[in-house]
Structure 1
Amino acid sequence: MPSPAPGPVESIEPPALFDTATRIVESIENVIDGKHDQVVTALTVLLAEGHLLIEDVPGVGKTMLARSLAKAIDGSVTRIQFTPDLLPSDVTGVSVFNQATREFEFKPGAVFANIVIGDEINRASPKTQSALLEAMEERQVSVDGHTYRLASPFIVVATQNPVEMEGTYALPEAQRDRFMARIAMGYPDAASEIEMLGARETANPIDALEPVVDLTTLGQLMAGVRAVFTSSAVKQYAVAIARATRDDQDIRLGASPRATLQLVRAAKARAAIEGREFVLPDDIDALAVPVLGHRLLPTSRALGKQHDAASLVAEIVQRIVDATPIPSGR
């Protein structure tokens, strides 16, 4: 079982953080062609100590992005293939009776790793999906009355197919709220697809991907992100956007306070990746849709105008961002 990392670590300086983040992005882009924005958002979530949900149709590189991100970090990695017969104990672990010692011993599940890749998470039953809830929020699991701490850092990178696909279960609202951001891969452009065909004729580029940072450096990067300055005006701006989703006539479930907190954390990571020591309103704008979109539920009236709920919510969030004034002051 991975042991938790030691206490507070020194934060890395902004120039070094920028250089390291750039190297991680470049390394992943050797595998993922033509998806710069998705790669940067994935790294943003990682450095903000959040969890990432990658949603799209099969075959567009969801799992490849998750594996590439995990391989760029020299930490423990496990992969869970979510299927209808997967049990909660397969995820969290189980107590097994040891005949030699005449005592129960805890056998850790797949969730005990630094980076957990949950492949096709919405193909498992809701009961198994919920096994991740405590782990994602509390960084611990409880089995048979005992609590076990997870490794540090602990990141879940989950993929899911659209709910219209056969054999899927919609993620409950409580679990979607645990993910800091949701991204969609989309189809590559023609040039990227042709380049992919050439690069993978004889080998898989992920096999040549080497770790860029170790866990110590990753901890320093995360500490550097936490040290990024967020002004009162930017905080007010983030809160104003979140509150507007709760009052919008086309939204029946608005952004939670957790969503506001994670929006600001993600904005700090984006600022650090771009080499800044402070958050700009532009960081909030850029992350509003991936951080807030998957948490919102549109009204049935609004859905009647457009069948694609994800696109509809993205349009609503963008409309709210455009209409929200930036508070003045520091």
Structure 2
Amino acid sequence: MIIPRIDIAPLFGSPTAARDAADRAVMDAASTSGFMTITGFRGADMLAPENRRRLLAIFSLPEEEKHRLWRWNFDHSRPNVYRGWYPLQKGTLSQKEGIDMGPDLAHGPARIRTDDPLSEETPLPPEEAVPGWRDLAAAYYRAMEETGAAVMRSLARGLGLKETVFDAAFKSGVSTLRLARYPFLPEVEAERPEEHFVVHAGKRRALVGGAHVDSGFVTLLAQDGVEGLQAQAHSGEWIDVPPVEGTLAVNFGKLLERWTGGQVRATLHRVVSPGRERFSIPFFYEPAAEAEIAPLPIEGAAPFEPFLYGDHVWEVSTNFVELRGVKHLRQPRRRVAS
């Protein structure tokens, strides 16, 4: 399996031969490997080394400042349930700390709702603690929204659908920007059970992210030259996703695979330890909580009962260790029959 690198700059322009070629490349990657790396995306300058360091400066906050950002399941005095900080939890396969941020980061209080934790306020550090950080994080969030929208429109064209077919669902979406740190802890890795190790390219490597497919639509992962991300080929072989600095690694989620009748492929991927500290900046491009996911006019696609995206993402995401224990805090908002 070859993971292609695609310049998606033409996707942001009017119809041209170059955009048609980019559409074909995106659809080919989506329908075969289910992975690609991209250049020419919005906000690429924000991944320059200096800007990346500024974005990750949040991890240098004192522990007491991080604690003020914790989610409810780690500190029951906190009001935030879905957004906020999750501390390092030793003893788990995925040993990391980080923060999940919602659309209010980029679009302000108008995107906050008190009746749905998926749209709750994101706790953020004060400006004086990390000067300029909020503005940079907000700008990066908006850039990834633009990039996700361009990729979805390209997929729509590749599927033979109206290019705006997905637009309504993603209006006022609940996309998540995550900043994560995987510390390198040799003493912890030495204590891992054997099933937390794999052999890759003749070397024994610790798993720090178990094999999984993402549950949603499009994941845009900032690359910084640090290896570790791997995708599974059809043969079962694990392939290194090229960690080229300044690119985005893009993969597609299980729900998009279902929505497109399997024409877009959700691919198993995992993370192996690079033997040093690793940072991760994924952006999960997601629809609105109340967006209805209903069958598309795609020949051969299996029918399914329409459902609301918010119900789906809550059911799935609250199974992860970072959100364990909160499932009961949101009830399904099932589609009301017309």
Please say whether Structure 1 and Structure 2 have the same fold, judged by a TM-score greater than 0.5.
no
How does the TM-score come out when normalised to structure 1?
0.24
Q: Name the structure where helix makes up a greater proportion of residues.
A: 1
Select the structure with the greater relative contact order (CA < 8 A; seq sep ≥ 6).
Answer: 1
